Amino acid sequence: MTAVPEDPGPGDRRPATGAPVDGWRRRWSVRTRALGEAARVRTRRFWDGAQPTLRQLWWTEEPVTPVTTVDRRAPEPLAVPAQGQVYVFLVRATYTWSSETARPELFGWYVDYFQQQAAQRLHRLAVRCAVEVPPHRPRDLHAALTAALADDDPPPWTYARGEVTFACEPDVTVHLDERVRKLLQPYWEQRIALECERDLARRRAEYAEERDRRDRQETPSATRAGDVSEPATTAPSANRSEATGPARDAGGMPGEAGRARRGSRPDGPVESFTPLEPLLPPPAPRPAPGQRPRPGEPEPPRV
């Protein structure tokens, strides 16, 4: 059999014998550069047209904004022994937990983990403050515990686990033991009753004083109105004027001291009229029967 040579492909063709090799290479290099330039132009056009669409599809991560998660817990009250170690105080605390680094789904787990530590911390402070406080004075314990929280161990309390950080702020109130409350109940009932009676008596005295003051204000106005409408027509008696009126001179008229002390009242009833004749001097006292008159006194008329 005679082997037939296969037809060479376009890339395996060799220039014909006698053809110039340089001219063939030159044509292929020009053709290649033209195709490459056309491909670059088409690729640039495609990229410029697809770039806005690709920008919309790009994945961009925005900066994470820290979010503060807050939770409040009110566990069972703490029993703190009072002075004498017989009765106790009940310390109720509300814990406010906050964190910026904990994830919301794990926040409750971290709070449960740190809650026991915060309760023990508050219990130590309360025991130290209540050792010298009588069991019936919860206000003193509250003041001492508040001062200890402000000076010795100020909140917020910080707790950390790994990269997660928590802040705790306790709000404390103090209550009486139930046994002490029963002992103090009769005392406070009596005290409240006495204070109510005292308040009632004080209010009655105020109302009576106000009524008397109102009556005194109404009485002079009525008297002044009666004096103006019905002026006096008779002069007062000598004895009454001597006992209640101002000092008078020998002629029976008011003296200078009486005028200076009394003053002038243009609208008063005394200035509204003038007596026609001076008042007579008061009669001299008469001696008892059988008694001689004193020197300088006129003798009484003999009947």
Determine the structural domain holding residue 199 and report its residue range. 178-221
Q: Give the pLDDT score at 259.
A: 47
* Spans of the chain below 70 pLDDT: 1-21, 60-64, 221-303
CB 94 within 8 A of CB 74: yes
Q: Give the pLDDT score at 53.
A: 85
Q: Give the pLDDT score at 260.
A: 43
CB 168 within 8 A of CB 118: yes
CB-based contacts of 275, cutoff 8 Å, min separation 6: 235
Tens-place pLDDT, residues 41-56: 999 999 888 888 888 8
The reply to whether 217 falls in a domain is yes
Q: Give the pLDDT score at 269.
A: 46
Q: Give the pLDDT score at 66.
A: 74
> For residue 138, what is the domain's CATH number?
3.30.479
120 shares a domain with 216? no
The reply to whether 298 falls in a domain is no
166 shares a domain with 92? yes
118 shares a domain with 167? yes
91 shares a domain with 80? yes
From 198, 221, 244, the end of a domain falls on 221
Q: Give the pLDDT score at 104.
A: 86
The reply to whether 39 falls in a domain is no
The reply to whether 140 falls in a domain is yes
From 141, 161, 176, the end of a domain falls on 176
| Backbone region of residue 290 per phi and psi (left: phi > 0; alpha: psi in -120 to 50; beta: other values) | left
The reply to whether 129 falls in a domain is yes
CB 90 within 8 A of CB 174: yes
204 shares a domain with 133? no
Q: Give the pLDDT score at 205.
A: 94
Whole-number Å distance between alpha carbons of 285 and 291: 13
162 shares a domain with 99? yes
Amino acid at 200: L
108 shares a domain with 95? yes
Cis peptide before 269 (omega within 30 of 0): no
Amino acid at 287: P
The reply to whether 49 falls in a domain is no
Number of structural domains (the chain) is 2
From 176, 208, 239, the end of a domain falls on 176
Q: Give the pLDDT score at 233.
A: 46
191 shares a domain with 149? no
The reply to whether 243 falls in a domain is no
187 shares a domain with 107? no
- For residue 169, which phi and psi values (nearest 5 degrees)? -125, 115
96 shares a domain with 193? no
- pTM > 0.85: yes or no: no
The reply to whether 191 falls in a domain is yes
Whole-number Å distance between alpha carbons of 10 and 8: 7
139 shares a domain with 73? yes
CB-based contacts of 113, cutoff 8 Å, min separation 6: 161
154 shares a domain with 125? yes
Per-residue tokens: 58: 């790009």
